[in-house]
Amino acid sequence: MATLALVAMACGGGDGGESSTPAATPAVEAAPPAAPGAVHEVRMHQTPEGGFVYEPATLTIRQGDRVRWINVSGGPHNVAFYGDRIPAGAEAVLNAAMANRMGNLSGGLMVAPDAVYEIGFAGAPAGTYEYFCTPHEMLGMKATLTVTQQ
């Protein structure tokens, strides 16, 4: 019974007395602002035929969204942008948003299965961004990301 009472109080239930109202007000005031954008997932894996792919290979997001790349199989994988195939002004934004870089516009290698690499595109110029996996570029592991205005 005590557990049910706690659950009811946490969900806004209870006797409707003064004690539940003050608890709800600070929680609303303390809530963090809504996330600036959506999170999109791209899976990196080896196909049954032996190819290496980003799935999806083309993705459209909005400025402020985040992209989460997941190492599913066939790693190591990474995300590296072609410097001459991104919008003007994007290089500095990408480099600042990319953790554990191996170099300019190149994210670190993900070796472990289910490893995640995430980049936020807040402040990124609208346009087309072409990228590749450094170890598998010559095997065709390339993709395109389009960033649109909010």
- Domains recognised in the chain with CATH numbers: 1-31 (no CATH), 39-148 (2.60.40.420)
Which residue ranges in the chain fall short of pLDDT 70? 1-36
Q: Which strands form 66-71's sheet, in the order they lie side by side?
A: 52-55, 39-46, 66-71, 116-120
Per-residue pLDDT at 128: 98
Q: What is the pTM of this model?
A: 0.76
Per-residue pLDDT at 37: 86
Asked if the bond preceding 56 is cis, omega within 30° of 0, the reply is yes
Per-residue pLDDT at 24: 41
Of 136, 88, 130, 91, the C-alpha closest to 109 is: 136
